[in-house]
Structure 1
Amino acid sequence: MPGPASPKIVVTGATSIIGYFLLPRLVNAGYEVHAISRNRREKPGETDKKVFWHPVDISHPDQLPRINAQALIHLAPLWLLPPLLPILSSFQIKRVIGFGSTSLFSKAKSANDGEKQLVARFVTAEEDIMCRGSALKMNWTIFRPTLVYDCVHDKNIAVIARFIQRYGFFPLLGKALGLRQPVHADDLAGACIMALDQPITFCKAYNLSGGETLSYRRMVERIFNSLGKSVRFLSIPAWLFRSAIRVIMLMPGKRNMTPEMALRMNVDLCFDHTDATRDFGFSPRPFLPCWEDPKE
Structure 2
Amino acid sequence: MDEKRSETDTARNLVIGGTGLVGGYIVEQLLRVGQRPFVLSRSHRSTPGVDWFRGDLEKPESLKFPAFTTLFCTADAILLANALPRLFNLSLKRIVVFSSTSVLTKQDTEVEAEREMIGKLADAERAIAAACEQHNVGWTILRPTLIYAEGRDTNITPLSRLIRRFKFMPLVGGAPGLRQPVHAEDLAIGALAAASSRAAINKFYSLPGAETLSYREMIGRIFDGLGMPRRTIPVPPLLWRAGFFLAKPLYPDANVAMGIRMMKDMTFDSTPAMRDFGWNPRAFNLAFDRHDDPTT
Aligned structure 1 segments of 4 or more residues deviating by more than 3 angstroms: 3-7, 243-249
- Confirm or deny: 8 A CA contact 2:23 2:73 kept in the other structure: no
Residue 8 of structure 1 corresponds to which residue in structure 2?
12
SS in 1 for 2:88: helix
Post-superposition Cα deviations, 1:181-228, rounded to whole Å, max 9, x if no partner, equal 000000000001111121111111100000000100001111101111
- Confirm or deny: 8 A CA contact 2:17 2:24 kept in the other structure: no
Mean CA deviation greater in 155-164 or 31-40 = 31-40
SS in 1 for 2:140: strand
Letter in 2 for 1:79: I
- CA shift, 1:269, in A, is 0.3
- Confirm or deny: 8 A CA contact 1:6 1:32 kept in the other structure: no
- CA shift, 1:92, in A, is 3.3
Identity of aligned residues (%): 35
Post-superposition Cα deviations, 1:27-47, rounded to whole Å, max 9, x if no partner, equal 112211111122467xx7xxx
Post-superposition Cα deviations, 1:227-266, rounded to whole Å, max 9, x if no partner, equal 11011112222233234544666x7x944x2111100111
Residue 258 of structure 2 corresponds to which residue in structure 1?
261
Residue 27 of structure 1 corresponds to which residue in structure 2?
31
Q: How many pairs does the alignment contain?
A: 283
Taking a change above 3 Å as real, the CA distance of residues 292 and 198 of structure 1, as seen in their structure-2 partners, is: farther
Partner Cα distance (1:247, 1:52) in 2: 49
Gap regions ≥5 residues in structure 1: none
Partner Cα distance (2:60, 2:51) in 1: 19
Partner Cα distance (2:12, 2:206) in 1: 27
Taking a change above 3 Å as real, the CA distance of residues 22 and 168 of structure 1, as seen in their structure-2 partners, is: same
- CA shift, 1:114, in A, is 1.3
Residue 271 of structure 1 corresponds to which residue in structure 2?
268
Counterparts of 1:167-206 in structure 2 under 5 Å?
167-206=166-205
Taking a change above 3 Å as real, the CA distance of residues 149 and 245 of structure 1, as seen in their structure-2 partners, is: farther
Partner Cα distance (1:94, 1:200) in 2: 14
Mean CA deviation greater in 17-26 or 205-214 = 17-26
Letter in 2 for 1:157: I
Letter in 2 for 1:27: L
SS in 1 for 2:48: helix
Post-superposition Cα deviations, 1:96-123, rounded to whole Å, max 9, x if no partner, equal 1100000001101111011101210111
Mean CA deviation greater in 233-242 or 71-80 = 233-242
RMSD: 2.1
Partner Cα distance (1:151, 1:95) in 2: 31
Mean CA deviation greater in 148-157 or 201-210 = 148-157
Gap regions ≥5 residues in structure 2: 291-296
- Confirm or deny: 8 A CA contact 2:208 2:269 kept in the other structure: yes
Letter in 2 for 1:74: C
- Confirm or deny: 8 A CA contact 2:174 2:235 kept in the other structure: no
Letter in 2 for 1:179: L
Post-superposition Cα deviations, 1:246-289, rounded to whole Å, max 9, x if no partner, equal 4666x7x944x211110011111000011000001000111111
SS in 2 for 1:49: coil
